[in-house]
Amino acid sequence: MTTKAPWDDGRLCYGGDWNPEQWPPRVWREDVALMRAAGVNLVTVGVFAWSRLEPEPGRYTLDWLDDVLDLLHSAGIRAALATPTASPPPWFSLRHPDALPVTADGVRLTHGSRDTYCAAAPAYRDAARSIAGVLAARYAHHPALALWHVHNEYGTTCHCPHAEAAFRRWLTTRYGDLDALNDAWVTSFWSQHYSDWAQVGTPRATQYLANPGQLLDFRRFWSDTLLSAYTEQRDLLRAANPAVPVTTNSVLGDWVPVDHARWAREVDLVAIDHYPSTTDAGAEEQTALAADLARGWARHGAGRPVPWLLMESAPNQIHTAGRMHTKEPGRITRHSLAHVARGSAGVMFFQWRAPAGGAERFHSAVVSHAGADTRVFREATDLGAALGRLAGTAPGRVQSAVAVAYDAASGWALRHPGMPRDGLDHPGEVAAAHRALWHAGVTADVVPPGSPLDGARLLVLPALYLASDATADWVRRHVHGGGHLLVTWLSGVADEHARVRLGGYPGAYRDLLGVRVEEFHPLADDEQVSLTGGGTGRIWSETVHTDGAETVSAYAGGVLDGRPAVARHRVGDAYAWYVSTRPDDDTYRRLLTEAARLAGVTPTCPGAPAGVEAVRRHDSDGTLLYLLNHTDQPQRVPVTGLDLLTAATVDGSLTLEPGAVAVLREAAR
Amino acid sequence: MTTKAPWDDGRLCYGGDWNPEQWPPRVWREDVALMRAAGVNLVTVGVFAWSRLEPEPGRYTLDWLDDVLDLLHSAGIRAALATPTASPPPWFSLRHPDALPVTADGVRLTHGSRDTYCAAAPAYRDAARSIAGVLAARYAHHPALALWHVHNEYGTTCHCPHAEAAFRRWLTTRYGDLDALNDAWVTSFWSQHYSDWAQVGTPRATQYLANPGQLLDFRRFWSDTLLSAYTEQRDLLRAANPAVPVTTNSVLGDWVPVDHARWAREVDLVAIDHYPSTTDAGAEEQTALAADLARGWARHGAGRPVPWLLMESAPNQIHTAGRMHTKEPGRITRHSLAHVARGSAGVMFFQWRAPAGGAERFHSAVVSHAGADTRVFREATDLGAALGRLAGTAPGRVQSAVAVAYDAASGWALRHPGMPRDGLDHPGEVAAAHRALWHAGVTADVVPPGSPLDGARLLVLPALYLASDATADWVRRHVHGGGHLLVTWLSGVADEHARVRLGGYPGAYRDLLGVRVEEFHPLADDEQVSLTGGGTGRIWSETVHTDGAETVSAYAGGVLDGRPAVARHRVGDAYAWYVSTRPDDDTYRRLLTEAARLAGVTPTCPGAPAGVEAVRRHDSDGTLLYLLNHTDQPQRVPVTGLDLLTAATVDGSLTLEPGAVAVLREAAR
Amino acid sequence: MTTKAPWDDGRLCYGGDWNPEQWPPRVWREDVALMRAAGVNLVTVGVFAWSRLEPEPGRYTLDWLDDVLDLLHSAGIRAALATPTASPPPWFSLRHPDALPVTADGVRLTHGSRDTYCAAAPAYRDAARSIAGVLAARYAHHPALALWHVHNEYGTTCHCPHAEAAFRRWLTTRYGDLDALNDAWVTSFWSQHYSDWAQVGTPRATQYLANPGQLLDFRRFWSDTLLSAYTEQRDLLRAANPAVPVTTNSVLGDWVPVDHARWAREVDLVAIDHYPSTTDAGAEEQTALAADLARGWARHGAGRPVPWLLMESAPNQIHTAGRMHTKEPGRITRHSLAHVARGSAGVMFFQWRAPAGGAERFHSAVVSHAGADTRVFREATDLGAALGRLAGTAPGRVQSAVAVAYDAASGWALRHPGMPRDGLDHPGEVAAAHRALWHAGVTADVVPPGSPLDGARLLVLPALYLASDATADWVRRHVHGGGHLLVTWLSGVADEHARVRLGGYPGAYRDLLGVRVEEFHPLADDEQVSLTGGGTGRIWSETVHTDGAETVSAYAGGVLDGRPAVARHRVGDAYAWYVSTRPDDDTYRRLLTEAARLAGVTPTCPGAPAGVEAVRRHDSDGTLLYLLNHTDQPQRVPVTGLDLLTAATVDGSLTLEPGAVAVLREAAR
């Protein structure tokens, strides 16, 4: 018997990370039986198995993995087979101390955790290619193999001599000559002019504030360096069997030196790991945003659309600072189906079975320390069944006419020291705009600057700090093509090297917006400003001069009393809005609702009550409407169609129980 | 004239650390006169005198110490003579830079404070033995010598190459072969399998979370290494004169890599340093706990009971984070006598005379910067007189029928990263249980797992995370022998290697308790849950299934609504209780009162009002009742006997003035 | 055409830091035109231009600076020409890695910011002298040159081998022999006795608390070392043209290892950089204090009075922790004129034009990113005009009869670990006393201990922790000469080595004050004590015994209930006050008002309403009264004279608009 990859036959992927190397074969068999019971069809294996696969340099012990893959195959479960390069074995570190990472303070880290390598160290790259090659040679045609899963959550940096040399090479390629680098980094400030490439180093510990251009390029360098570590494995795996897709799983957040949009061009499937960081309703908002980010990368990243998949998620916990919160009953399913609603090719958990030891012994698992006679396992089984009922529903195209721009480098640049305020946070501002739209019932795409805006009636730039000329052109073309635009404070203030565009903020969009900002008035953490028309602003305010724009709302009170807070500029038939503060959530929601309305965008499901998330997908069969009731009350939604989860026909009105989800094949409207 | 050691003739020790090396002989004579006035009979000398005793390598200047000891002897004061090895002189560090300690980040610390050595460095050990040998040869038969006081507050760690090599040797001894180590540390997680001993190191800075097994063994290794540094000095001192007892003073707390229970087997007297860390009533609760810990180690540690002594305490300050709080009048005496009540062989202060300089120039002292015409000196003199009146009262046996288990390694393991919640704190949970008993008027023993439980009707395990099979047996034998048991959350969850015991928590005690815990629900810091029957829980909650136990109180509200919070299981005639959250103090007090009552345990002095601490001791003359009024109101206590402090006869009722203490030789009851 | 330095012809300096090296010549010409429009007459150039002046070792490119200075000269603007030694170019660091600074943890910092040198490294000192010599040779007689501005904000430390050797040499000079050092540092504590100079090092990372004497001398050493780096440049510049004055700009605060009073003896002009750190009214209080500090150093530092100048200030921002607050309209002028009122020779901004990049791209500037069509530029232009109207008003002598003592070393010593409380803050206590006087309308001098107290009727010592015998004598002479004295807690507690003076606090002033302090009772951060007569104390309290003094107010409640809080001692006709806690601001104001009154000191402008700052200066033409309305209401002040800013005659009463400033040439009174 052979099995197709789940997506090959219209099924949704379901499964998670499985670590048979931590358990005796008796447990493998128990696990596979449980997987079948839960409806699992795909598992990730081998992620951290290097020391088990190659216990000594060049000695390979693969028999166990043969058995594991055969066992999976015999059970009709496919494998996302990982290269184990995210955790070199102890022998590697002992043999290649120069490949251990070095911090900005010059501390050489040691083995003892995971990711203890410098991705710019030749010895590491050699070893990684070797073990990947061994796996490729052995398993590229194994019938259980559905996907290559390279590495795990690339995201480390290093300041060792290898890294420094590589950084210099990268800069040489980027800038060609030192004059260009000196210009980009504004080394005329503080006497930092470089007269020889040998003087250029990584941003190690220094006396006081570091150079922003250097900091920004260091992150870009690492994104590219890590990506090259990925692509060399990918090429080797692909060569062994071009039919097997290759990916790597990405961790989100701007703390990671990865430009996901750029990476998306190199994968056959965008895979994200998503763990909400808050226990309140923010967990659902974050879930929607993560899915929309992944979809944006998958759709626009590679020039060709690729699928995307939630590759890791926590079955029963939300990890917050200092605590692992146990998810409430039903929340696992809602988080999972929220991803599927927005296009995920399935649901994968980290992890299948909880280990008895190791650093993550208390991480979330489907089969917990208490075993399978547990609420979590039962919910996972129910979810497996629900996913089965959704088989055959193609991801289709999520209905959206609003695009929100997200840009990794803008996130990095706003974290630099010396900004007018600490805590500036591009992803946070993207989240705030996305959250406002989410509460307005409007589904948004989240897109990298420069990607095609087909179908977007309204483009939102939330603190999109950096604007290259190309980005500025992209925005201008959208507006001149009739698209609406909403730009918030700090967007377009700097160019791609984080150099301020002079002449009044936001240098890149002043003309388009019909405003000129003279001075920033960053607010203290506990400070807020009132706005005419109601509502408040936080974090930031500005002296805005209108120059063609009309004032929509003004500051009320304080030194900016009466001056524009929100303005809009008529450009052709469209509006270009400028928002100079961070509105409170309700005001932001009303503002974006109005901007969307003027752009001709209405909520996905206008009659859905607050707290009911609605996502509509178009496919060849028509439309599919996902409805998720995030409230603790029954909610009535005016819809008509067939609920695929319950096989019930809905005629005009559906009552969703607290926490329940429905997936409607809608009647033609 | 010769003097016996205070305890040789039934006296209580009284004195403190004295540093004549900081002062000219004129001040020595003034000090000795003041000591006599204050009733001092024992002083600790030489603790940090190495550079004065051996100003250059191999050149010894001991005449001043001869004079000091002779002066003490002539005044009838005995000496606890210290080996000065806690602070090597600058010349040592210059000559042996390899013996300076190295942090986890690889920073080699420098001289300039104290404890600037690696206890695994051969050069340090050689030098320490040498100076100890010189002192032994010169003073082992000095008539003033009452006690050898080795070192001071052992408690440092190191990551230098000496330490790493020693750690590897220790692991080889512990595990025999690498397979056992790999198994204990669960190195199958994150590809950490060791294939050669040379790959194993100390837990230095690494990329992300460290291995819990490695962290735990590193602490154990340091406890054993420091202990061997102690025992080699002890053996040498003992060889010089077997009649003189040897000890070292221990600092409490789980931050220190010392397993006190294990150390107690190697001393002739358990000596603790105790400094409460809070200024409110917690200072008295901490004092009682410290004394009970010391008594537990002294009673059970060595197979043979040894005396214990409060070796350091602060005469007039409580050091809190950021502030030295001056003790209120009378508090010095109450803290001191609280220790004596619970068996201390006396009261020793750090320090006798405050230095004019040095890092601890503002540390507490009997003779302060202001001299001896001070409240503190007068209170110390009064205390000396009170202790004199208690001469002849043998420590006897403290009356207790409740044992609370404390285990250093459980404390260490709960501090590891990756636990379900930050801030898990075995000593803190021991303190909470002890505090509840203290407020219930029930005196408790605090004991290491495995020690004889003679007389204990109720055994309490507060978050005793680790349970080896031996510990599980010890608990089982107690219950099967008719003893009652109360176990709180996180007890018995892991084995001695911190590997989770599978199949439902708490793996070690599930059967005994008749419960199975399916999921943890750690609470946020500011979160609490309600319990049926009143009261609240904090820090932690759980999905508890009863399996033979009856529910005593349930969670009220929230996701655990209606599920068991506290359960008890009938085992023979006894109860085995399970408490799945941290009750608020009052609820905990009521719960333990009830558990004690069912075990046949009643308060020490049932009629004592709240805030009056009562401790009863049995000796050959009958019973001695210590009563300490910690309130600011007079309190009436129904007792009969002779108050040794005032020589007043008490017939049926004693009124204790605010802050006052009475010690009653009770009439036979 | 030649121009005099502004102060040579009675003008006030006006300008700021200008960085033509960051801009093309086109912008230079625009800048100079804007400077002329704004009334600028002095600019600081070249501060961070080393890499532009010497792009490779020994290759100098000075033509651009020739052009810049010629351009300034042709515009009638004078230059404060800086030596660029605060930021060596990258080539220097690459060539001399041993001259890069090392932290206490042993981390060798790298290039990439500014100040990346060890000022004790010979290679750095050589290079600094070389570039300074090149500038001296070329520009010492340039007609635009008004002032040499050496370096920028000296203030770094280092622990490298060069620094360690230099520290040892400095200590050898200071102490002569090791016995004296051992005595000063009290090395008898914790076995720290040094038997060879080679054992003495810098206070690098160590195991626990460091030696206070070592910490204090390390700071003194750096102050002297940095000063020698300055003086060797100064000598070389002065030799090239003795007519040109030399200075360096000082940053304030006790975190910087600079004893400003000592440095003032070596400059021809005291130059301070001042940036308030709070956005509320504290900014104005800090401004007054900074000016009074500078005046104190300028007046007393060198034996000869020298002028002082506000060399850097922020035109439009207040940098607080985490945020750059935009100054409210008018505040720029008030801050600037507050400095002029207290004697500044002018107003200099950092910086003239905001850079597009570099670490300080968002630092405050006169010509901002938005250009010159801005509020800030307009306010700066108005200020330039106002300063022009004040031309010819000599700094004269500020009217003051109260002196507040400030001592860098006392600030350093109070920051040491092991103090009775964290957060002890001599500058903060100086600020509290100065603030109380400021609100009382009393102008104070702030003076270094030992400086002449001519004219001071009342001397205030706020937590002046250290008292050498010379300082104690200075205070005693003041009182015995009829001066009044007010001493607060922690003053005079220690000698110049931070060794506690024994026998009761404050050892240095016990007799003079007629008090003896037995015990400290430091308060918790959120704690306060009540005082009889109203008001509260914070931070600190004490057991005070009067011994000749009378109790002015007592503690009310708590353990100190009824004991003296504030006492005063009649000495001849004067009072010596002792204040044992930090009174709340209002109580402190009343207390100092009373102490001043008894000393015969009255407010500068008795009829000025609260919130109106008044400073009077005496010069040969009579008196000049500065009035600054810091409130947002019009305020009426009873004065008579000619307002130099408006040319209006004021007869008996002046109404100051909100935020307005008047400078009155007063009619003879």
pLDDT (mean) for B429-436: 98
Segment 248-307 of chain B within 8 Å of chain C by CB: 279
pLDDT for the residue B301: 62
Active site residues of C: 153, 312
Min Cα separation A112/chain B (Å): 6
Q: Is the per-residue pLDDT at C88 higher than 50?
A: yes
Q: Is the per-residue pLDDT at C642 higher than 90?
A: yes
SS3 C448: coil
> Residue B610 CA to chain centroid, in angstroms?
26
Q: How confident is the model at residue C6 (pLDDT cuts 50, 70, 90)?
A: confident
Q: Is the per-residue pLDDT at B518 higher than 60?
A: yes
- Find the CB nearest B51 among C185, C192, C520: C192
- Cβ separation B355–C186 shorter than 8 A: yes
Residue C146 tokens read as 């008004």
Q: Phi and psi for C50 in degrees, rounded to 5?
A: -55, -50
Residue type, A135: L
**What is the percent of chain A where pLDDT is above 90?**
95
pLDDT for the residue B4: 59
Of C68, C64, C7, C84, residue with least CA distance to C41: C7
Helices A63-74, A122-139: axis angle to 10 degrees equals: 50
- Find the CB nearest A91 among B195, B207, B418: B195
Of C64, C228, C88, C77, residue with least CA distance to C147: C77
Q: Which residues pair with A325 in a beta bridge?
A: A318
Is A83's Cβ below 8 Å from some Cβ in B?
no
pLDDT for the residue A4: 59
Residue A492 tokens read as 């377009």
Q: How confident is the model at residue C305 (pLDDT cuts 50, 70, 90)?
A: confident
Helices B282-300, B426-439: axis angle to 10 degrees equals: 110
- Please report, for chain B, the start and end positions of each structural domain, with discontinuous segments joined by +: 402-598, 612-666
Q: How confident is the model at residue C498 (pLDDT cuts 50, 70, 90)?
A: very high
Q: How confident is the model at residue C302 (pLDDT cuts 50, 70, 90)?
A: low
Q: How confident is the model at residue C250 (pLDDT cuts 50, 70, 90)?
A: very high
Between CA C586 and CA A498 the distance in angstroms is: 48
DSSP, residue by residue, B76-129: T-EEEEEP-TTS--HHHHHH-GGGS-B-TT--B--SSSS--S-TT-HHHHHHHH
Is C659's Cβ below 8 Å from some Cβ in A?
no
Q: Is the per-residue pLDDT at A234 higher than 60?
A: yes
Of B20, B82, B18, B21, residue with least CA distance to B47: B82
Segment 87-106 of chain A within 8 Å of chain B by CB: 87-91, 93-94, 101, 103, 105
Q: Do A402-598 and A612-666 share a fold?
A: no
pLDDT for the residue A495: 98
Is B55's Cβ below 8 Å from some Cβ in C?
yes
- What tens digit of pLDDT does each residue of C575-587 get? 999 999 999 999 9
Burial of B161 (0-12, 13-18, 19+ CB in 10 A): middle
Q: Is the per-residue pLDDT at C8 higher than 50?
A: yes
pLDDT (mean) for C309-338: 96
pLDDT (mean) for B357-374: 97
Is A557's Cβ below 8 Å from some Cβ in C?
no
Peptide bond into B351 cis (omega under 30): yes
- Cβ separation C524–B112 shorter than 8 A: no
Instruction: Find the catalytic residue in B21, B285, B312, B542.
Output: B312
Min Cα separation C468/chain B (Å): 15
Min Cα separation A207/chain C (Å): 6
Spell out the long-range contacts of B96-102 with Cβ–Cβ below 8 A and sequence spacing 24 or more: B96/B121, B96/B123, B96/B124, B96/B127, B98/B123, B98/B160, B98/B161, B98/B162, B99/B123, B99/B124, B99/B162, B100/B160, B101/B156, B101/B157, B101/B158, B101/B160, B101/C207, B102/B158, B102/B159, B102/B160, B102/B163
- Cβ separation B211–A359 shorter than 8 A: yes
Residue C70 tokens read as 């010629």
Is A361's Cβ below 8 Å from some Cβ in B?
yes
pLDDT (mean) for B155-173: 98
- Which residues of chain A are within 8 Å of residue B195 when distances are taken between CB atoms? 51, 55-56, 89-91
| β-strand pairing of B550-556 with B542-546 | unpaired
Q: Which residues pair with A537 in a beta bridge?
A: A529, A583
Q: How confident is the model at residue A301 (pLDDT cuts 50, 70, 90)?
A: low
- Find the CB nearest C374 among A191, A502, A518: A518
pLDDT (mean) for B60-64: 98
pLDDT for the residue A118: 98
pLDDT (mean) for B462-486: 98
What does pLDDT average to over chain C? 96
Q: Is the per-residue pLDDT at B255 higher than 80?
A: yes
Q: Is the per-residue pLDDT at C557 higher than 50?
A: yes
Report which secondary-structure segment, H or E, holds B139: helix B122-139
Residue with tokens 């759709």: A299
Q: How confident is the model at residue B304 (pLDDT cuts 50, 70, 90)?
A: confident
Q: Is the per-residue pLDDT at C492 higher than 90?
A: yes
pLDDT for the residue A9: 79
Q: Which residues pair with C625 in a beta bridge?
A: C616, C664
pLDDT for the residue A490: 98
- What tens digit of pLDDT does each residue of A54-104 get? 999 999 999 999 999 999 999 999 999 999 999 999 999 999 999 999 999
Chosen from B95, B369, B375 to mutate, greatest number of chain C CBs within 10 A: B369
DSSP, residue by residue, A499-544: PBPSSSBSTTTHHHHTEEEEEE-PPPTT-EEEETTS-EEES--EEE
Is B191's Cβ below 8 Å from some Cβ in A?
yes
Q: Evaluate if pTM is beyond 0.80.
A: yes
Helices B331-341, B282-300: axis angle to 10 degrees equals: 30
- What tens digit of pLDDT does each residue of C181-232 get? 999 999 999 999 999 999 999 999 999 999 999 999 999 999 999 999 999 9
**Residues whose CB is less than 8 angstroms from the CB of residue B335 and which lie 6 or more positions away in sequence, other chains included:** B276, B283, B284, B287, B313, B327
Q: How confident is the model at residue C304 (pLDDT cuts 50, 70, 90)?
A: confident
Chosen from A191, A216, A516, A540 to mutate, greatest number of chain C CBs within 10 A: A191
- What tens digit of pLDDT does each residue of C609-620 get? 999 999 999 988
- Find the CB nearest B113 among C196, C208, C525: C208
Residue of C nearest to B84 (CA): C191
Spell out the long-range contacts of B422-429 with Cβ–Cβ below 8 A and sequence spacing 24 or more: B422/A322, B422/A323, B423/A322, B423/B525, B423/B539, B424/B463, B424/B465, B424/B490, B425/B254, B425/B463, B426/B254, B426/B462, B426/B463, B426/B464, B426/B465, B427/B253, B427/B254, B429/B462, B429/B463, B429/B488, B429/B582
- What tens digit of pLDDT does each residue of A93-137 get? 999 999 999 999 999 999 999 999 999 999 999 999 999 999 999
Chosen from C326, C327, C331 to mutate, greatest number of chain A CBs within 10 A: C326
**Residues whose CB is less than 8 angstroms from the CB of residue A410 and which lie 6 or more positions away in sequence, other chains included:** A426, A463, A464, A465, A466
pLDDT for the residue B1: 38
- What tens digit of pLDDT does each residue of A459-499 get? 999 999 999 999 999 999 999 999 999 999 999 999 999 99
Q: How confident is the model at residue A570 (pLDDT cuts 50, 70, 90)?
A: very high
DSSP, residue by residue, A566-632: EEEEEETTEEEEEE-SEE-HHHHHHHHHHHHHHTT---SSTTPPTTEEEEEEEETTEEEEEEEE-SS
**Chosen CATH of C402-598 out of 3.40.190.10, 3.40.50.880, 3.30.200.20, 3.40.50.300:** 3.40.50.880
Q: Is the per-residue pLDDT at A156 higher than 70?
A: yes
Between CA A279 and CA A20 the distance in angstroms is: 31
**Chosen CATH of A612-666 out of 3.30.460.80, 1.20.81.30, 3.50.30.10, 2.60.40.1180:** 2.60.40.1180
**What is the percent of chain C where pLDDT is above 90?**
95
- What tens digit of pLDDT does each residue of B570-625 get? 999 999 999 999 999 999 999 999 999 999 999 999 999 999 999 999 988 899 99
- What tens digit of pLDDT does each residue of A204-219 get? 999 999 999 999 999 9
Q: How confident is the model at residue C127 (pLDDT cuts 50, 70, 90)?
A: very high
Between CA B184 and CA B206 the distance in angstroms is: 20
- Contact by Cβ (8 Å): B307, B346: no
- What tens digit of pLDDT does each residue of A163-201 get? 999 999 999 999 999 999 999 999 999 999 999 999 999
Q: Is the per-residue pLDDT at C506 higher than 50?
A: yes
Q: Is the per-residue pLDDT at B145 higher than 90?
A: yes
Q: Is the per-residue pLDDT at A20 higher than 60?
A: yes
Q: Which CATH class is domain A46-265?
A: alpha beta
SS3 A449: coil
- Cβ separation B207–A50 shorter than 8 A: no
Residue contacts between B and C (CB atoms, under 8 Å): 187
Segment 513-552 of chain B within 8 Å of chain A by CB: 516-525, 543
- Find the CB nearest C518 among B50, B110, B370: B370
pLDDT for the residue B29: 98
- Cβ separation C195–B360 shorter than 8 A: no
